[in-house]
Amino acid sequence: TMGEGLVYVKNIMFPDMPVKEFKRTKDDISVAFISDLHVGSKLFAKEEFGKFIDWLNLEYGNNEQKELAKKVKYLIISGDLIDGIGIYPGQDKELEIKDVYEQYNFLAEYFLNLRKDIKVIICGGNHDALRLSEPQPLISPIFAKSFYQMKNVTLVNNPAFVRIHGIFDILMYHGSCFDYYVNNIDFLRKAGSYDAVDKMMEFVLKKRHLAPTHISTLYIPDINKDPLVNYKVPDFFVTGHTHHDVKISSYKNVTLIGCSSFQYKTTYQEKLGHTNITWGKSTII
C-alpha cells in the first residue's frame, strides 16, 4: 500500500520457477557426478578414488559395473579438487602435500590416465586456489597447468551453467552458502541440517538466486548483471561442499544432486558437529 511518499510492504511473493520440460535423449549414455576430492589431505580417500578412476577405465568391478562404466561419457566435478593451504585452523597437521601446485599435479595424474572419451567438467570451490568471493573464476593455469593441457578437461566458473550432449543444461555450484542457511533457517535445520542438502538446493531454486541472503556468501557485486541469479532453469542442479551422503531428488522436473566427497572426516569437521560425513561415493545418472 502507498502512503505519503512511502510504500508499505505487507507480503513478499518470490517468483519460484516454472515446471521444466523433461528432456530425453535416444543415446544410451551416463553422467558421473562427484565433488570434494581434497587431494593433498592425509584424509584424501586415495584408495576409493583410485578404484573410481579404475572403474571408469573399465579395470575395476564386475561385468555389470563395467557395462555401466562404458556408458559414462561425462564426469562433472563440483569443486574442492584440492585441500588447499591455510583453509581452517590446524590444517597443516592434516596435509600430506603442503604445496598447492603439487596438489593439483598429483590430481592431474589421475585424469591423464582417464579414458579420453570421457569429458571432464570442473568448477572450483572454497578449498581451491581461488578467491572465496563468488562468482569464483576458473582455476588458473598458473596453479593447474596440467589440466589446461588435457583436451577432454574443461574448467568453468563457480557457479556455471553448462550444456552437455547438446541438450542437457547443468547448473554447477559448489554450495558455500549452505553453511549460512543450515545455521539460520529453522525448517532446513529441522529437515536434517547438512543431511538435507536437497532441501537447501530446492530453497535456492525457489528464490531464483544461489545466495538470496546478502551475507550468506562472500560476493562481488556487478552493476550490470547479478551472476548468482538463476536466469535459466536447468535440467540438473549439482552441488557439493557438505561432505554428507549423496542426495538425489527432483523439483519441478529439475534433478537435484548433492554430491558426497572423497575425504574422510577432519578434526575441524568434528569440532563443527558434522557427524554424518561420508566419502568415496559418486552419483551416476
pLDDT in tens, 200-217: 999 999 999 999 888 899
Rounded to whole angstroms, the Cα distance separating 152 from 114 reads 9
Whether residue 106 contacts residue 44, with contact meaning beta carbons closer than 8 Å, is answered with no
What is the widest separation between alpha-carbon atoms in the chain?
75
Residues forming beta bridges with residue 30, ordered by sequence position: 72
What is residue 147's predicted lDDT score, i.e. its pLDDT? 95
Copy the grid coordinates of residue 201: 538446493
Instruction: Report CA-CA distances (Å) from 250 to 20, 109, 204, 231, 234.
Output: 11, 35, 14, 19, 12
CA 165/CA 229 separation, integer angstroms: 24
Query: What is the average pLDDT score of the chain?
Result: 92
pLDDT of residue 261: 93
Give residue 272's pLDDT: 66
Reported confidence tier of residue 89, pLDDT bands at 50, 70, 90:
confident
Q: Residue 269 is inside which H or E element, if any?
A: helix 267-271
Answer whether residue 280 shows pLDDT above 80: no
pLDDT of residue 88: 85
So what's the pLDDT on residue 273?
64
Asked if residue 116 has pLDDT above 70, the reply is yes
| DSSP annotation of 255 | E
266: alpha, beta or left, given left = phi > 0 and alpha = psi -120 to 50?
beta
Q: Name the pTM for this structure.
A: 0.91
The pLDDT tens digits of the residues spanning 225-238 come to: 888 999 999 999 99
The residue-averaged pLDDT of 192-197 equals 86
Residue 241 one-letter amino acid = H
pLDDT of residue 201: 95
Mean pLDDT score, 87-105: 93
> How many other β-carbons are positioned within 10 Å of the β-carbon of residue 65?
11
Q: Give the percent of the chain with pLDDT over 70.
A: 97
Inform me whether the pLDDT recorded for 111 exceeds 90: yes
All 3 cell numbers of residue 145?
A: 597447468
